[in-house]
Chain A
Amino acid sequence: MVKRSYNQTPIKAQDPEVRSHNFNEVVLGYSLDEGRLEASRCLQCKNHPCMLHCPVMIDIPGFIKKIEDGDMDGARKIIAKYSNLGAICGRVCPQEKQCEMACTLGRSKKFEPVAIGKLERLVSDWDLDNPEPVKVIPHDKGRVAVVGSGPSGLTVAGDLAVKGYEVTVFEALSTPGGVLIYGIPEFRLPKATVKKEIDRIRDLGVKIETDVVIGKTITMSELVDDFDACYVGVGAGAPHFMSIPGTNLMGVYSSSEYLTRINLMHSYKFPTYDTPIEPAKQVVVIGGGNVAMDSARSAMRLGAENVSVIYRRSLEELPARIEEYHHSVEEGIQYHWLTNPVAYLGDENGQLTGVKCIKMELGEPDESGRRRPVPIAGSEFIIPATTAIEAIGQGANRVMLDTYPDLKTNKWGYVDANEETCATSVPGVFAGGDIVTGAATVILAMGAGKIAAKEIDEYITNKTAKKTSHSA
């Protein structure tokens, strides 16, 4: 056997010079041969620590072995047992903090971990290009309503359809997919890929009704009455603002608005698409998560002269995926560490001209255990800016919750659900994903969907059994 290479098999990516001017996907994916080469680095560990660190426990050595053997059909069958959205998770999962972090190979000093995510993507992309004929099964076990078509709702829907339920997904926006469609940009997650994954869930017989806002178009109580069970996966996309002076100046955006304009509404193709966006010139992004990275890198692609990210802590605390941070630096994005904005400055027309900031230093650790940033008196300075994007976090989507007080929420405004069963305060109503956990990850939202599908199946089966025994 050839000697294992220390490093991961290189993957093709667009050159930073080129890609910072287009919205096409950055990472291009492995070829089958490259995939087999990378798969051969796997040690096939008996205790498979990688698997234990995947939130949905994909049989990682199993599918990697199939790739190595050149058996793509076998590989896809293994992944399909655990995940409905492999092409998405393979791209956007924080692998370095999950499966790849635990990889035995990567834990030895000299070696990089097996590129598990990229291999998963290879299999799932191949699967989308070589679809298996779908078995149409009767949907006679009951009717389930799913509110929200993000990764969580889609997973519940797909799994329940396979189990024999008639499932209708209601989505407020015009296009299903949740954050996968309106938040995560094309250059990280091509919308064509998301669409293919969703079409596959439709092929299972799931009905997706867009332009339906539950709580407005149809009430939650109506759904509870009409369906045997409901799943709430409405997400946590509502933007927080720092509410510093000047927030209403033109040029100040929430990341949700900035990314929605670009991704859902395609404003980067204005005027072919009608939704406008301000031309990016001098752009400041506030925050340090994936959402901040996505906003900064999108602004760059809109032709900005310069883009800087201001973050109140330092690189070590940056919550964004490290791969995304490196990509952003390669694309020319600058960072102001230990910096916080205090006011937006504008001209007489109300257009943003700059962001007034203050330098911070790290003080005592706070509740989260991270050292709390404190402002340094007298260190204010101004960053000239025509666009400022706040990416400081999101809260619960409230449209439905506000009209359905029966559903108990916790002190942060998220749905109070049992994380082991997804059950809520209302019998027959289950919930999961960001609306329960607060802004988290695609794979966790999907994991909750998997659990909920199992629990809903049990719930309806028991209910039906009771009914039949009563009537007997």
Chain B
Amino acid sequence: MFKVTAYERLTTNEYQLWIDAPRIAARAKPGQFVIIRMDETGERIPLTICETNPKDGQIRIIFQVIGKSTAELAEFKTGSELLDVVGPLGTPTAIKNYGTVLLVGGGVGIAALYPTVKGLKQAGNRVITVLGAKSKDILILRDECAKYSDELILMTDDGSIGRKGLVTEAMEDVFNREQIDQAWAVGPGIMMRFCTQVATKHDVPVYVSLNPIMIDGTGMCGCCRVTVDNHIRFACVDGPEFLGAGVDWDSFMQRMRQYRVQEKQAFEQYEQLRQVQ
């Protein structure tokens, strides 16, 4: 059992938990994730380790409610216990001193990007960070990213904070302005795909964090397979980070939709039950 030690609602739809998981906290590196199963009938859901506190043995996760399991996880208040938390899974981000790096995060992907921002800054890079969201009130981790960035650019769809527009516009500006040695993009599939196009156009290598559907997270099922440079790779062990230029985006984004019908059914049934209670 893994105890939730702190619970916070960050925005209308995004939540943060600190979980007591000393072994994971001691070892997790940027880019790694955990898989959580809430109870006996639960599914296994992967979530990025946003931060650790090795001294107290705690890990921090941030998630967006988009379906049944994340809605249920949002009910796990301080003191509740999660049945399974396993990790840290995946290959860590290649943190080192590249020179100048550009990090782009969108939506809840910012939670997954944040440890990389922090890690790259601590490794001595000049860090330029671009964060994007629909509007100001759902833009998470602004201050924390600012703390570890030499420059922070905010982009919102409605212009409620920062500039109005897409993260790719900010990327273009930065690429036109100066030499970037390595870029990262973490967010929805479609965003990472366009970020890859922009970076590739400017000859800048860009890492993306692929989040296909997973089960075991140990390389044993092949559910998380993605095609990179025409080879089948398992995102849970070979990734989740890959160089974006080699990713077969069409099949990646298609496979994310595999269970839409069942997911909708599960979510509707869950909401109905909650209304009854």
A271 cross-chain contacts in B, Cβ below 8 A = 262, 265-266, 269
Most chain B Cβ neighbours within 10 Å, of A237, A274, A278:
A274
Question: In the complex, are the beta carbons of A270 and B221 less than 8 A apart?
Answer: no
Question: In the complex, are the beta carbons of B43 and A217 less than 8 A apart?
Answer: no
A174 cross-chain contacts in B, Cβ below 8 A = 37, 44, 83-84, 86
Indicate which residue in A248, A270, A399 contacts B219 across the interface (CB closer than 8 Å): A399
A235 closest partner in B (C-beta): B220
Question: In the complex, are the beta carbons of B37 and A276 less than 8 A apart?
Answer: no
A346 closest partner in B (C-beta): B254
- A217 and B219 contact, Cβ closer than 8 Å, known pairs A174-B37, A248-B248, A274-B266: no
Binds A, one of B169-177, B180-188, B222-230: B222-230
A273 to B37 alpha-carbon distance, docked (Å): 11
A183 to B118 alpha-carbon distance, docked (Å): 41
| B23 is an interface residue with CB less than 8 A from chain A | yes
Binary interface profile of B, 150-188, with partner A (CB < 8 Å = 1, else 0)? 000000000000000000000000000000000000000
Which chain A residues in 72-87 approach chain B with CB under 8 Å?
none
| B81 is an interface residue with CB less than 8 A from chain A | no
Binary interface profile of B, 248-277, with partner A (CB < 8 Å = 1, else 0)? 101110110111001101100100000000
Question: In the complex, are the beta carbons of A397 and B43 less than 8 A apart?
Answer: no
B220 cross-chain contacts in A, Cβ below 8 A = 182, 237-239, 256, 260, 397
| A216 is an interface residue with CB less than 8 A from chain B | yes
Question: In the complex, are the beta carbons of A260 and B216 less than 8 A apart?
Answer: yes
Most chain A Cβ neighbours within 10 Å, of B37, B222, B259, B266:
B222
A276 to B37 alpha-carbon distance, docked (Å): 14
- A276 and B262 contact, Cβ closer than 8 Å, known pairs A211-B85, A217-B27: yes
| B89 is an interface residue with CB less than 8 A from chain A | yes
A248 to B256 alpha-carbon distance, docked (Å): 11
| B136 is an interface residue with CB less than 8 A from chain A | no
Which chain A residues in 227-262 approach chain B with CB under 8 Å?
237-239, 241, 243, 247-250, 253-254, 256-257, 260-261
| B239 is an interface residue with CB less than 8 A from chain A | no
Question: In the complex, are the beta carbons of B251 and A350 less than 8 A apart?
Answer: yes
Question: In the complex, are the beta carbons of A265 and B254 less than 8 A apart?
Answer: no
Question: In the complex, are the beta carbons of B87 and A217 less than 8 A apart?
Answer: yes
B27 cross-chain contacts in A, Cβ below 8 A = 216-218
B252 closest partner in A (C-beta): A248
| A275 is an interface residue with CB less than 8 A from chain B | yes
Which chain A residues in 246-298 approach chain B with CB under 8 Å?
247-250, 253-254, 256-257, 260-261, 264-266, 270-276, 278
B interface size (C-beta, 8 A): 44
| A207 is an interface residue with CB less than 8 A from chain B | no
| A343 is an interface residue with CB less than 8 A from chain B | no
Question: In the complex, are the beta carbons of A265 and B232 less than 8 A apart?
Answer: no
- A275 and B44 contact, Cβ closer than 8 Å, known pairs A213-B89, A397-B219: yes
| B3 is an interface residue with CB less than 8 A from chain A | no
The smallest C-beta distance from A281 to any residue of chain B, in angstroms, reads 13
A264 to B41 alpha-carbon distance, docked (Å): 11
A interface size (C-beta, 8 A): 43
| B211 is an interface residue with CB less than 8 A from chain A | no
Question: In the complex, are the beta carbons of B84 and A260 less than 8 A apart?
Answer: no
The smallest C-beta distance from A138 to any residue of chain B, in angstroms, reads 28
| B42 is an interface residue with CB less than 8 A from chain A | yes
A349 cross-chain contacts in B, Cβ below 8 A = 254, 257
A254 cross-chain contacts in B, Cβ below 8 A = 221-223
A217 to B49 alpha-carbon distance, docked (Å): 13
| A398 is an interface residue with CB less than 8 A from chain B | yes
A213 to B219 alpha-carbon distance, docked (Å): 11
B262 cross-chain contacts in A, Cβ below 8 A = 270-271, 276
| A223 is an interface residue with CB less than 8 A from chain B | no
| B69 is an interface residue with CB less than 8 A from chain A | yes
Question: In the complex, are the beta carbons of B215 and A350 less than 8 A apart?
Answer: no
Question: In the complex, are the beta carbons of B24 and A265 less than 8 A apart?
Answer: no
Indicate which residue in A211, A253, A350 contacts B254 across the interface (CB closer than 8 Å): A350
Question: In the complex, are the beta carbons of B227 and A399 less than 8 A apart?
Answer: no
| A22 is an interface residue with CB less than 8 A from chain B | no
Question: In the complex, are the beta carbons of A274 and B89 less than 8 A apart?
Answer: no
A248 cross-chain contacts in B, Cβ below 8 A = 225-227, 248, 251-252, 254-255
B250 cross-chain contacts in A, Cβ below 8 A = 350
| A320 is an interface residue with CB less than 8 A from chain B | no
The smallest C-beta distance from B68 to any residue of chain A, in angstroms, reads 6
The smallest C-beta distance from A22 to any residue of chain B, in angstroms, reads 19
A174 closest partner in B (C-beta): B84
| A172 is an interface residue with CB less than 8 A from chain B | yes
A240 to B58 alpha-carbon distance, docked (Å): 37
A274 cross-chain contacts in B, Cβ below 8 A = 41-43, 68-69, 266
| B30 is an interface residue with CB less than 8 A from chain A | no
| A98 is an interface residue with CB less than 8 A from chain B | no
A245 to B87 alpha-carbon distance, docked (Å): 33
| A318 is an interface residue with CB less than 8 A from chain B | no
Indicate which residue in A173, A218, A250, A270 contacts B258 across the interface (CB closer than 8 Å): A250
Question: In the complex, are the beta carbons of B24 and A217 less than 8 A apart?
Answer: yes
A275 to B214 alpha-carbon distance, docked (Å): 11
**A-B contact list, 28 entries, CB within 8 Å:** A172-B86, A173-B218, A174-B83, A211-B84, A211-B86, A212-B86, A213-B86, A216-B89, A217-B87, A238-B219, A238-B220, A247-B232, A248-B227, A249-B254, A250-B257, A254-B222, A254-B223, A256-B221, A256-B222, A260-B216, A260-B220, A264-B215, A271-B266, A273-B41, A274-B68, A397-B219, A397-B220, A398-B237
In the A-B complex, list the 6 residue pairs whose CB atoms are closest, starting with the nearest: A276-B262, A350-B254, A248-B251, A274-B43, A254-B222, A257-B221
Given contacts A212-B23, A271-B269, 7 further A-B pairs with CB under 8 A are A217-B27, A217-B86, A218-B23, A239-B222, A274-B43, A397-B220, A398-B237
